[in-house]
């Protein structure tokens, strides 16, 4: 089956055909670095990291570019609030981005360009647009003339009249059209600025991504991605200015966008008090659990974020990790399995899981269905280990398959994140004693006491598991 993805531009699924055989060129809009990135950003970053990983799994050489917007109105305003130079503030939150991205197991991009390092490229593009009549200078501000670009609105499906009627924009009588957007902004006192043919100033938001994507990927690259909130105006404006500059040449062939993240059925917003950063989430949850939750719903479907669903995601991830761990324990024991029918059944289950996983991911990266393939294989492995808790080639194959497919989605099922506790040696000794006490209770068929011990420790974050080889314990991540 060929890989198909939903193209926002055509509003349908299309077979993916890369610009260059065996290679994928992707540009994904990065954060505006004036704060820690929020939970909605996290979904976008995790989704496109998953898409990148799957292309790699399919054998593609992926060139993945994700920028940093490090000069912007929000950065300047936040700099004033914190009493910091705006560019220093931006660098501070770039550094913090990498910490949170690492916790979510997001791979670093091939290139992480910063807007402030590409001012000359932006100026060159703006000059080209002025020369072709698609942009104009008004007292040091340069605007893009939207009504001079044919098919403006083709990505969002809006007409200029629709945009004008529904937009909340400041009235600027200097503009030729109310929807004209800034390519270059005249410097204000105390703001970062650069020399240009139009005087001191700084770039507009949209031109930054045009300059950086063209520099590192060239025209006609494969995939341009971002959150659904970027379709308009950001990506619409990128297309207009870039294809205008390229004399109609295609900017990007596929446009991909993930759906919104809501909080308890409401859109995340500071006014509603339900706005929170990824850093705040990571203070209460492991990054792998957050990632597991974010990929548990198809990327184009809305995702509602709440503690209950997050808890369910944690249990789901632990099920897969437990399956891998139990298989590993069996593989480390000596013995043999002589039932060829059962062995072949397990090998078949591993192959069917891989096929189901690939079928799901080939169909517009359906990670939710891919999860189902992982859980089905884990279930089969668990049943096998209970009946044959010893090493076998079939079990090794199944475990390897589950681990590999988990890695495609960004999970290390063999080495789950460990929760750090103080005095681990003392805790281990205490838990050994607890398991002995519980074992004696079970020998006496005191099931009430056995269950009480298990449930009491679970409430404190320590999971006791009963297996054919005896009880074990672990700290819940």
With a cut of 60, say whether residue 313 has pLDDT above it: yes
Q: pLDDT digit string (tens) for 37-52?
A: 999 999 999 999 999 9
With a cut of 80, say whether residue 332 has pLDDT above it: yes
Q: Evaluate whether 277 touches 37 at the Cβ level (below 8 Å).
A: yes
- CATH numbers and ranges of domains, the chain: 4-258 (3.40.50.620), 305-408 (1.20.120.640), 424-475 (no CATH)
With a cut of 80, say whether residue 318 has pLDDT above it: yes
Count the alpha carbons within 13 Å of 54 in the hemisphere toward its beta carbon.
23
With a cut of 90, say whether residue 367 has pLDDT above it: yes
Distance CA 109, CA 212 (A): 13
Q: Measuring CA to CA, which residue among 303, 268, 283, 467 is closest to residue 386?
A: 467
For the record, the structure tokens of 275 come out as 């706005």
Distance CA 90, CA 34 (A): 6
Q: pLDDT digit string (tens) for 427-472?
A: 878 888 888 899 888 888 888 888 888 888 887 778 888 876 678 8
Does the annotation list 209 as a binding residue? yes
For the record, the structure tokens of 121 come out as 């490229």
Q: What is the DSSP letter of 420?
A: P
Average pLDDT over residues 316-343: 84
Q: Measuring CA to CA, which residue among 289, 323, 287 is closest to residue 309?
A: 289
Average pLDDT over residues 77-91: 95
- Give Cα 31 to chain centroid, integer Å: 12
Please report the pLDDT score of residue 264 as a whole number.
78
| 3-state class (DSSP) for residue 467 | strand
With a cut of 90, say whether residue 132 has pLDDT above it: yes
Q: Evaluate whether 284 touches 310 at the Cβ level (below 8 Å).
A: no
With a cut of 60, say whether residue 418 has pLDDT above it: no
Q: How many CB atoms lie within 10 A of CB 359?
A: 14
With a cut of 90, say whether residue 162 has pLDDT above it: no
Q: pLDDT digit string (tens) for 257-270?
A: 999 898 877 777 66
Does the annotation list 234 as a binding residue? yes
With a cut of 50, say whether residue 225 has pLDDT above it: yes
For the record, the structure tokens of 11 come out as 């509003």
Please report the pLDDT score of residue 466 as a whole number.
84
Please report the pLDDT score of residue 474 as a whole number.
79
The CA angle 359-361-365, to the nearest 5 degrees, is 145
Does the annotation list 267 as a binding residue? no
- Burial readout 266-282 (b: 16 or more C-beta within 10 A, e: otherwise): eebeeeeeeebbbeebb
Q: pLDDT digit string (tens) for 246-292?
A: 999 999 999 999 998 988 777 776 666 677 899 999 998 999 999 99
Does the annotation list 164 as a binding residue? no
Q: pLDDT digit string (tens) for 169-203?
A: 556 778 999 999 999 999 999 899 999 999 999 99
Average pLDDT over residues 300-312: 92
Distance CA 172, CA 176 (A): 9
Q: What percent of the chain has pLDDT over 90?
A: 73
Residues 6+ apart with CB under 8 A from 310: 285, 289, 290, 293
Q: What is the residue-averaged pLDDT of the chain?
A: 91
Does the annotation list 474 as a binding residue? no
Q: Evaluate whether 142 touches 130 at the Cβ level (below 8 Å).
A: yes
With a cut of 60, say whether residue 419 has pLDDT above it: no
Distance CA 75, CA 60 (A): 36
Please report the pLDDT score of residue 421 as a whole number.
45
With a cut of 70, say whether residue 337 has pLDDT above it: no
Residue 415, judged by CB atoms within 10 A of its CB (0-12, 13-18, 19+), counts as exposed
């Amino acid at each position: 089956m060929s890989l198909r993805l939903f193209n926002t531009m055509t509003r349908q699924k299309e077979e993916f055909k890369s610009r260059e055989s065996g290679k994928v060129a992707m540009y994904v809009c990065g954060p505006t670095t004036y704060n820690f990135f929020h939970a909605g950003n996290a979904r976008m970053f995790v989704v496109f990291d998953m898409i990148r990983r799957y292309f790699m799994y399919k054998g593609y050489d992926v060139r993945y570019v994700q920028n940093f917007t490090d000069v912007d109105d929000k950065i300047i305003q936040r700099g004033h609030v914190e009493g910091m130079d705006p560019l220093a503030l931006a660098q501070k939150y770039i550094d913090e981005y990498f910490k949170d991205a690492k916790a979510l197991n997001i791979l670093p991009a091939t290139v992480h360009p910063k807007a402030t390092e590409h001012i000359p490229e932006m100026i060159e593009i703006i000059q080209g647009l002025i020369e072709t009549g698609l942009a104009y200078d008004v007292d040091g501000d340069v605007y893009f003339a939207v009504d001079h670009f044919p098919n403006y609105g083709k990505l969002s499906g809006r007409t200029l009249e629709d945009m004008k009627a529904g937009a909340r924009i400041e009235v600027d009588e200097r503009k030729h059209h109310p929807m004209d957007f800034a390519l270059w902004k005249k410097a204000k006192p105390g703001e970062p600025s650069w020399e240009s043919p139009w005087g001191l100033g700084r770039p507009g938001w949209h031109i930054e991504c045009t300059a950086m994507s063209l520099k590192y990927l060239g025209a006609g690259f494969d995939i341009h991605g971002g959150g659904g909130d970027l379709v308009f105006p950001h990506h619409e404006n990128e297309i207009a200015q870039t294809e205008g500059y390229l004399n109609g040449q295609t900017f990007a062939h596929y446009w991909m966008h993930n759906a919104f993240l809501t909080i308890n059925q409401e859109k995340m917003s500071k006014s509603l008090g339900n706005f929170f950063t990824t850093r705040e989430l990571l203070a209460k949850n492991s990054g792998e659990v957050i990632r597991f939750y974010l990929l548990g719903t198809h990327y184009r479907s809305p995702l509602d974020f709440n503690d209950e669903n997050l808890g369910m995601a944690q249990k789901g991830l632990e099920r897969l990790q437990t399956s891998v761990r139990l298989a590993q324990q069996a593989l480390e024991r000596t013995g043999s399995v002589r039932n060829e029918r059962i062995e072949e059944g397990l090998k078949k289950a591993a192959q069917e899981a891989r096929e189901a996983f690939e079928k799901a991911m080939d169909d517009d990266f359906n990670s939710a269905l891919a999860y189902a393939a992982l859980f089905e294989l884990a279930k089969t492995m668990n049943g096998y280990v209970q009946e044959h808790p010893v090493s076998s080639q079939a079990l090794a194959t199944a475990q390897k398959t589950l681990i590999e497919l988990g890695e495609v989605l960004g999970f290390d099922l063999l080495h789950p994140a460990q929760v750090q506790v103080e005095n681990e040696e003392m805790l281990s000794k205490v838990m050994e004693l607890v398991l002995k006490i519980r074992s004696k209770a079970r020998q006496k068929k005191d099931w009430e006491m056995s269950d009480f011990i298990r449930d009491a420790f679970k409430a404190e974050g320590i999971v006791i598991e009963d297996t054919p080889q005896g009880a074990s314990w672990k700290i819940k991540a």
